[in-house]
Structures are given as structure tokens and as C-alpha cells.
Chain A
Amino acid sequence: MVVAVEKNLGGLSATEYERRLEKFEARINRGEKIEPADWMPDDYRQQLIRLIHVHANSEICGALPEGRWIPHAPTFKRKLALLAKVQDEVGHGQLLYRAAETLGPSREQLIEDLITGKSKFSNVFHYPAETWADVAIIAWLIDAAAIINQMMMAEGSYGPYARALKRICYEEAFHMKHGYEMCVVLAGGTKVQRDMLQDALNRWWAPIMMFHGPSDKESKHTAQLVRWKVKLKTNDEQRQQFLKQFVPKMLDLGMKIPDQSLRYDKQADAWLYDDPDWNEFKKVVNNGGPVSKERVEARRLAHRDGQWVREALTAAAEKKPVSPPPSH
């Protein structure tokens, strides 16, 4: 096997580095978890920080399109469920930032990088939720796609991330079930409701097809991440799993998949499709999407508006006088 050239030996001699790397990889192959205090290759650390950071940012930014719909939920039950989901997503962000911190960066740094646009968040949250049916599609299909990703990552080699994900998956299960119920209601409703659901799927299909990331032909990180059990499946494998599980369910609800190229190949037991527009994906995740600027700005304002609360709590803990909130 060709071992990638390591840029950073962490001040170790090449032989010592090789010795540690071999031990590290042997542990991963035995299915052991790597813990924060353990030696790890710098590449492993950096890749994990990148992945967990993007994941945490996505939870936080994912709460924004849904949060905006809380006041407009059609029933009290839906409002309660949506409130709970949004609370969960923000909680998941907190759990994940904690997991990322165990690898080095501080919480402030992680948040700062998001609000200055230095770090990324999931492509799907760069698009607006235009109607109530978008909320249903997000909760069902995007959470379904996320669960496929997170169930896999929960078996990964880094202990703090895997443990956080187990907890997260448990909570996401309700989001997806609730989303499916919302779609079932719309799909069985009036023509206006059915059209609204189809219209939402038409707009969300391409972003959902890109959700698991660039195709294996293009993804530059995948091979090493799979070897180190950061990921256990490639992006295309995850996408395939999603299509197998959910295309039949969408068709069952009478939805039309807005992709002429999508077809099932019996012999390969796989869904075939033309690659989505990966240039759009790259543009979107680099904050060039329809509402990228709004998302980052909403997060910046929320962080700014919470500043006085953090300061007040710090002052109270130090038994110092607490300043009142600013009036802006």
C-alpha cells in the first residue's frame, strides 16, 4: 500500500514516526478508539478537526432555516416538535464543538472561524426554506441523509466524536420520523399541499444529492480517512445507501424525482445517476450559495447578542457586579 507522504512528523525522527504510526494503525485495525491524550498523526488530527468543525457548524446553521418557521408552524403539535428539533440541533452543535476542542482548537476559535467565513458548513444549509413543505423535506430527507452519515461516523476511530454521535443519532431519529409524518400528511392532502411538497422536492433534490460530498472520483480526502476509520464508507457509498432506502419511499408517497438521469440498475443493484453539478457544490460551500451570507450573518449577530450573557455569567461566577444588557 502506498502511504501518503506526511507533511508533519511532529518533531519526531522518521523511524520513530513510522513506529508510532504502525502502532496507531494497528490499534485502529483492532477496532480500538483513539482518545485525546493518545499520540496521533498530525494529518489525522487536522482531518478530524476539519470534519467535526464542519459538522458542528452545520448543526448550528441547520437550525436557522427551521427556526425561522417556528412562528409559522401550522399546528401547536408541529410547533412543539419543531422547537424541540431546533433545540436538539443547537445542542448537537455544542456537543460537536466540545469534541473538536479535545483535538486542540478553542471554542472561541471555532466559532470565530464560522462567523468570519473561514470554515465551512453543509451545502444544504446554504439554501432557503421557502415554504412549510421545505421544513418537511429537510426534516425527513436531509435528516435521513445525515443519519446515514452519522451512524457511520459513530463507528469511527476517534472516541469523543463517536460518543457524541451516538447521542446525536438517538435524537435525530425523532426528527426524521416527524419529517416523514409531515411529508405523509402533505402527500395525502389537497392538490395545493401535494404541489407544495413536489415543489419543495424539486428545489431540494440537487442539494440533497450533493449532501454526502463530492463523488469518489473527485474527493481528495476519502482514501486516507477510510484507512484511519474516520469514515467507514465513501461519499458515493453513502449516497447509494440513501437512494436505496429513500427513493422507493418517495415514489410510494407519489412524489416525482426531478432527475431524468436517475434509474435503477437491477444487475448492479444500484441507482444510477448523472453526477450533480459539483461546481455548484464548491461554490455553495465556499459561502457562494443563495443565503450563505445571511446564515453567517445570523450566526454572527446571535453570537454578538449573547456576548453580554456570557460576560454576565463570568462576572457572577467571579462575584463581580454584572453589567446590564446593551440596548441595540
Chain B
Amino acid sequence: MTDTQWKVFEVFHQQARGEPHVHVGSIHAPDAEMALILAKEQYSRRQACVNLWVVPVEAILPTAYENDDIFERGTDKSYRESWGYKTPKTITASHGATEPRSHEG
């Protein structure tokens, strides 16, 4: 039997223009052009699709799950987030004033 196992291509699917391409699975194909044809058959039978990407699996360099500690935060990174900053609804409230302060000062 002269079968060869074709290369693996990862498939990314876009549901509407402007949306991100989302990884949906992978397929075997002899080349990229054929991979697109097969990906269309396999992954766009139902949901809306405006665009497909196929990427040879070797082109993807993943981080290793065993090293997922590289994503851990050793220090407080709340300064990177909008929720890291607490501001009162009105400035007057923060000063505990019952009367608005004069803008004239």
C-alpha cells in the first residue's frame, strides 16, 4: 500500500468580517491549496463562514503547558487594569463635603 500520511494543517474559521479567526480543528492535506478545499468541506457545513485560514502545523510554535508558570504573576499587576484604579463618582463625595465647593476658589 502506497498511502502516505499527508501533512497536518490547523484550521481557523471566521464567522463574519471583522470577527477574529477561531481555531476549529485540523485536517490532513497534500498541500495548502487542497487543505483549504478540505477545510471548507469539513468546517463550514453549518455555521456562517466568510473566511478560512489553514496553517501548516509545523508553523505553530506553542508554549509548553508544563511551563505554564511563565504566565503566573509574581507581583501585583493591577496597575495594568482599569479596575486597578478606584475613583469616586464625584470629587465632592471624596472630600465628604455637603456643599459643592465653589469653582471660584
Contact = CB atoms under 8 A, between A and B. Distances in A.
Nearest to A112: B1
B71 interface: no
A203 B11 CA distance: 42
A313 B34 CA distance: 8
Interface residues of A, number: 27
Nearest to B42: A91
B46 A95 contact: no
A316 B29 CA distance: 12
Nearest to A318: B30
A310 B3 contact: yes
Contacts of B66: 38-39
Interface residues of B, number: 23
B27 A98 contact: yes
B64 interface: yes
B5 to A, nearest CB: 5
Given A95-B25, A108-B5, A311-B2, A35 B65 contact: yes
Nearest first, the 8 closest Cβ-Cβ pairs linking A and B are A317-B30, A317-B31, A313-B30, A108-B3, A314-B30, A106-B5, A91-B42, A107-B5
Interface of B: 1-6, 24-31, 34, 41-42, 45-46, 62, 64-66
Given A88-B45, A171-B45, 6 more contacts: A91-B41, A98-B28, A106-B5, A108-B5, A310-B3, A317-B31
16 contacts: A39-B66, A87-B45, A91-B42, A91-B45, A95-B42, A98-B26, A107-B28, A108-B1, A108-B3, A112-B1, A313-B34, A316-B34, A317-B30, A317-B31, A317-B34, A318-B30
Interface of A: 35, 37-39, 87-88, 91, 94-95, 98, 106-108, 112, 163-164, 167, 170-171, 307, 310-311, 313-314, 316-318
